[in-house]
Each structure stands twice: as C-alpha cells, then as structure tokens.
Amino acid sequence: MSDTPTPNPQSPTPIWHKGTAAEDWVTRFTVGEDWRWDTILLPYDLEGTRAHAWALGQAGVLEDEEVDEVSRALDAIREAWERGEVTVRVQDEDMHTVIERELTARLGDAGKKIHAGRSRNDQVLTALRLWLRDALEGIAGTVLEVGHALVAHAQAGQEMLMPGYTHGQRAMPTTVAVWAAGYVDLLADDLAALEDARRAANTSPWGSAAGYGIPVLDLDRDGVAEKLGFERTQAIAAVQLSRGKLEAGVVHALVQMGLTLNRMASDLALFATSEFGFVSLPHEHTTGSSIMPQKRNPDVLELARATAHRLTAELHVLLTLPANLPGGYHRDLQLTKEATMRGVLATQDLVTATAAVLPGVRWRADRMRAALSPDLFATAEALRLVQAGTPFRDAYRTVGIHLDDLEVPSIEDALGAYTSSGTPGNVDLEALRKRLASAR
C-alpha cells in the first residue's frame, strides 16, 4: 500500500501505527519506564531476531541471502548499541520498534518482512528469558564467592569462641566457624532454589506470538529454541498465562537469598558496634558522617540488609498483578518485566556488595573472649550432671540455683564439650565446600 509510512530510525511512529497516532500523554503513560528496561534487553532481542530470521528462511518467507543480510545488520546494530548510538527512547515505545526500524532503514524489504510470524509478546518474553539466563548465572557465580569467603572465615574461626544469643541475650557459647557455616548452609539452599528458577526460565516462548500460535507459516519452534540455547520449548502457545508466574518464581528465589544476606549483614553491623566490637569492617567499605569526625558507618551492610525488603516489594507486584486477569495478554503484564528486572538488578548489587565486604572483615578474638560470661556454660554444666546420672530437670534446677559457681572454661575445655557435627569445634569445612559445589 503506497500510503503506508516507511519506518526509519529517527521516526517516532509506533510500528502499529495505522494513520492515527496516540496523544503524547498516552505514549508516556503506556510506555512508562519500559524504554529503560528495553535498552538493557536490546542485545537479547537482537539474538531473538537473528533466530527468528533463520526460521523465516526455513519457512520460505526470507531468501537465504536475506537471512544473511539480516544477521550482518543485527551485528552492526549491536555494535552501534555498544557505542551508545542506538538506544530506546520513550517515543520509540520499545526495543522491538527500534530494531525493526533499524533493519528496515538498512535493508528495505527484508526489514519489513522481519515481523512476520511474531508478536511483541513472544519477542519480549524471549529476550527477557535470555537475559535472565545470563543474569542469574552471574548472580550464582557471585554468591559462590560469598560462600567461599564465609568458608574462609569458618576455617580461621574454628577456635574463636563468642557468645551466642537468643532473644537478644547471651545464651550459649558458639564460634565464628559455626556463625559463618550457618550462612554457607543457607546460601547452598538458596543457590539450589535459584538454579530451579533459572531452569524454569530457560524455556523458549518463541513462536507463541500473541499467545495463540502462528497460522499459515510453518515455523520451527524447537529449532529456534535450540539455536537460542534454551533447554526446552514451552509446549503450549498460551505462554501469556505464565507471564508473571514464572518471573515470580525467579524473584522468590532472589528474595530467599536476600533474606539470608539480610540477617548476615545485620549480624555484622551489630558486631561492628563499639558495644560489641567483635569485628572490624574494611575501611573502604564504610562511610563517614557529615558532622561527626569520628564516625565510620556500615552503610554497605545496612543497604545490603535493606535490599531484602526491596526484593519482597517486587515479588509482591509479581504475585498480585496477574491475579484475577482473564486469560490472554493484558497491558497490565508489561509491569511484570520491570518488577523482575528491578529484582534481578538489585540482587546483583546485593551479592556484589557482600562479596566485596566479607574478605575484609576481621574478627577480634580478644573482644569476643572478654564477652564470654560464666552463665553461657550453664547448659554444659547441667548436661555433665545428666551424664553422671542426674535427671535433667533436677540438674537444670541445681545449676540454675548455683550460677555464681560457674566459671569460663579454657577454649580447649569449652570446645571439648562438643562432639556432634556442626557444633563448636566440629565444623566440617570440606562438607561446606561440597555443598556449595553441588548447589552450583
């Protein structure tokens, strides 16, 4: 049709434009922050487009020469994106528009053909899942660094006694090794959950189009999934039903990881106070006060602690937004991309910060030793009476009445009271390393 406007890279006309453009405020409202997220996803959409072009070639829509031209043009667009010359603007609406316009400007009809057999619905899901695959792999690698840093603390702290607390009060003795190993144990579980989420996300939605499949054209869904490195193809075309749900599984795994690091950061921030003094924090990972010259603040740890709440907020969006929507696509679902990407990017920062701080944490054995009080060893004394034949409740009362008679034992005697695995003096470092390796 001769009156159809020809797209070009500078034109703000949406690719769905059919003669009547939306008002500016409608564009701003409907696009929202999507253009920012699409700028990040654009290289992944380029790869999805490359595989799509191959499928169009297999289906006879594109000639072999056109498939090659599209591939070369996509390489050029990627290079321009890396130089900052290609980006996504509000008026562009999305990355899909930018790529199609660029291809049309560079190739003419081959660019105009590229959207045959696809929808922006399966495009964005393909790009997002490719990005998630890489991003989650990176997060897992950094979490392994955190885990190994904790194992190093456990190794150095096998004989470093410190008070253990319940209800914020001194309870029983523990060690730096038990403290560190406890968080390694949690992170191994978190890594396993993250791998399950990554595996679920590593499913190709390509070829589902708007959620109802592609008529007429014989498009090879499994072939494209293989080209893009997906483990499987989402079998049923109604992939919009999974939108938000699959992403919630990813962010839920990130929330679990965030909660683990939240509590670890809380411990270290508390231990670094003058009142405790159990640890000193690396100077380069603390900040100062604008008014108090003496202050060094654990801001990195505090923000790491706070990130868990940000992740929970993004998860709440993903859990509630798709609820009560009828089947099929609705523009509401656009916001699931933002919530997912915010959650992933916040987690990247969280694990990077934690991996940076931990190696520089120094435990102060003298302060921890000074904090040991005789009452911490009351349970051990009661159980010695039990071992000698006294019923536990009688031993419990006897020791409770004579707390003033207790003394702080030597480190050797304190640790010698424990024989079962995972207790003070009995942390199996090799088992920790194997847990991390198997979770990965």
Under 8 Å CB-to-CB from 395, ≥6 apart: which residues? Answer: 382, 383, 385, 386
For every one of its 440 residues, what pLDDT tens digit does the chain have, with 9 covering 90 and above? Answer: 334 334 344 445 555 454 455 567 777 787 778 888 999 999 999 999 999 999 999 999 999 999 999 999 999 999 999 999 999 988 888 999 999 999 999 999 999 999 999 999 999 999 999 999 999 999 999 999 999 999 999 999 999 999 999 999 999 999 999 999 999 999 999 999 999 999 999 999 999 999 999 999 999 999 999 999 999 999 999 999 999 999 999 999 999 999 999 999 999 999 999 999 999 999 999 999 889 999 999 999 999 999 999 999 999 999 999 999 999 999 999 999 999 999 999 999 999 999 999 999 999 999 999 999 999 999 999 999 999 999 999 999 999 999 999 999 999 999 999 999 999 999 999 999 999 998 86
Claim to verify: residue 129 and residue 73 sit in the same structural domain? no
Q: Indicate if 173 and 64 belong to the same structural domain.
A: no
| 435 domain residue, yes or no | no
Q: Are residue 178 and residue 241 in the same domain, yes or no?
A: yes
| pLDDT given for residue 30 in this prediction | 77
**pLDDT for the residue 25:** 78
All residues at 6 or more sequence positions from 324 whose CB lies less than 8 Å from its CB, including other chains: none
The answer on 236 and 150 residing in a single domain is: yes
What CA–CA distances, in Å, run from 37 to 8, 45, 55, 114, 363?
Answer: 22, 12, 27, 22, 41
In a domain, 377, yes or no: yes
CB atoms within 10 A of CB 141: 12
Same domain, 273 and 359: yes
In a domain, 12, yes or no: no
In the numeric block, which tokens belong to residue 332?
């509401």
Q: Which domain-ending residue is among 322, 344, 368?
A: 368
103: domain CATH number is: 1.10.275.10
- Reading phi first (left if > 0) and then psi (alpha if -120 to 50, else beta), residue 229 is in left
The reply to whether 440 falls in a domain is no
Which residue's structure tokens are 């933002």?
Answer: 338
Residues 290 and 240 in one domain: yes
Domain end among 368, 392, 408 = 368
State the pLDDT at residue 11.
Answer: 44
Active-site residues, by number, are: 167, 289
| Domains of the chain: total | 3
Q: Is 13 inside any structural domain?
A: no
Same domain, 271 and 209: yes
68 with 131, same domain: the answer is no
Query: Domain check: are 255 and 210 in the same one?
Result: yes
Do residues 132 and 90 share a domain? no
Contacts of 227 (CB under 8 A, 6+ apart): 51, 54
Q: Residue 267's domain is classified under what CATH number?
A: 1.20.200.10
Query: Do residues 141 and 83 share a domain?
Result: no
**Structure-token match 């990077």, residue found:** 352
Is 50 a domain residue?
A: yes
Tell me, yes or no, whether 285 lies in a domain. Answer: yes
268 and 395 in one domain?
no
Domain endpoint, select from 94, 116, 138: 116
Does residue 7 form part of some domain? Answer: no
| Nearest alpha-carbon partner for 178 in 205, 203, 149, 158 | 158
d(Cα 306, Cα 314) in Å, to the nearest integer? 13
Domain with 364, as residue range(s), is 122-368
